[in-house]
Amino acid sequence: MRYYDFPKYVPVAEKKAKAEKKLAQLKKKNPGMKPVLLTGKALADTWWGKEWNKNLERYADYSNRISRGRSYVRHGAVLDLQITKGLVKALVQGSRSKPYDVEIRIDAISNKNWAALVSACKGRLESLQTLIGGQFPRELTELFTRKGSGLFPSPDDISFDCSCPDWASMCKHVAAVLYGIGTRLDEDPNLFFVLRNVDSRDLLSTAVAESRNELLSKAKKASSRILEPESDLSAMFGIDLGGETGAVTLKKTTPARKKSPEPVPVKGRKTAPLPKQAKPKKAATPPPKPAEPSDDVKTILGLIAGKKKGIPVADIIAKSGIEETRVRNILFRLKKLEKIESVERGVYRALRQR
């Protein structure tokens, strides 16, 4: 019922209950749904989530309309939000029984702008953890958030569509999804780069390459801490792989046995031959003990062992604090030693030892 063309007031608690009920129904048919659920009062807590929302609000085209979606996010109306390259698809519960379909398309960063950003990050970003955590120099913050040429999209880069009958160019359901993206970036900032169709590692490659070249120039040889995918395992574990079988053996050198001195003959005297000495029996050699893995290997194995469904490489890098190149080399060797396996690309879990 409407009063003077205004919709009837519905309490927030009732809206939340309606959204929860509909979500439970839909999940029975589609358990892969990803609702936007707030854990606190703020719409976003991390640097990436906050800057996403600030970016939308700083444009005059959006500032007066996007606020319509805040209440929808707060009472859990965004029942599903899926992010892929340049595309966001969502279901939003409105006043009707059936949720509305929302689709938002976001253009990729132009090659020119991306090349400028990569160049600006030269030597300033040392790890993926620093980038994802938003802990980088202030100059990069200003560069990333710059209108038009930064990482974040402008209104010209965004187009959207909603199945609701609202005539407004940006309805409250679209606005709710735009805020929902910021909340989702709190959970996984890597999705930002997926959405903008760029590789976050491009921002790090320059710094990593420079660090490696500096080490090589000082040592005048490859450092044992920089491992290539096919390098010797002894650089990491102190062990060696036995041919193609993958058997692990400890390196051991056996000293050469000294020969007994020959008797010197004396003229006019017969020299009696020396009695033959019995050859000493070889003592049974105990099987070699496996070398203890390094602290980095233990840390990575510990992270993987705690995840039955697997853990992404990005999470391992972020939680361990180990350099990305070293993490990937260790994962390569652990997989070759059949300590871990790939659940899918970039996701690993521990193998049960027989």
Identify the pLDDT of residue 190: 92
DSSP conformation letters of 276-341: PPPPPPPPPPPPPPPPPPPHHHHHHHHHHHT-TT-EEHHHHHHHH---HHHHHHHHHHHHHTTSEE
Identify the pLDDT of residue 12: 74
Phi/psi zone of residue 211: left (φ > 0), alpha (ψ -120 to 50 degrees), beta?
alpha
Q: Rounded distance, CA 349 to CA 310, Å?
A: 4
Q: How far is CA 336 from CA 28, 83, 137, 241, 290, in A?
A: 40, 33, 39, 10, 16
* Domains parsed from the chain with CATH numbers: 2-205 (no CATH), 233-249+291-350 (1.10.10.10)
Quote the pTM value.
0.56
Q: Rounded distance, CA 349 to CA 119, Å?
A: 36
The number of residues making up the chain comes to: 354
Could you give the 3-state DSSP secondary structure of residue 104? strand
What confidence tier does 250 reach under pLDDT thresholds 50, 70, 90?
very low
Q: What is the pLDDT of residues 70-110, one digit of tens each?
A: 889 998 999 999 999 999 999 999 888 899 999 999 999 99
Q: Rounded distance, CA 63 to CA 56, Å?
A: 7
Q: Rounded distance, CA 73 to CA 44, Å?
A: 11
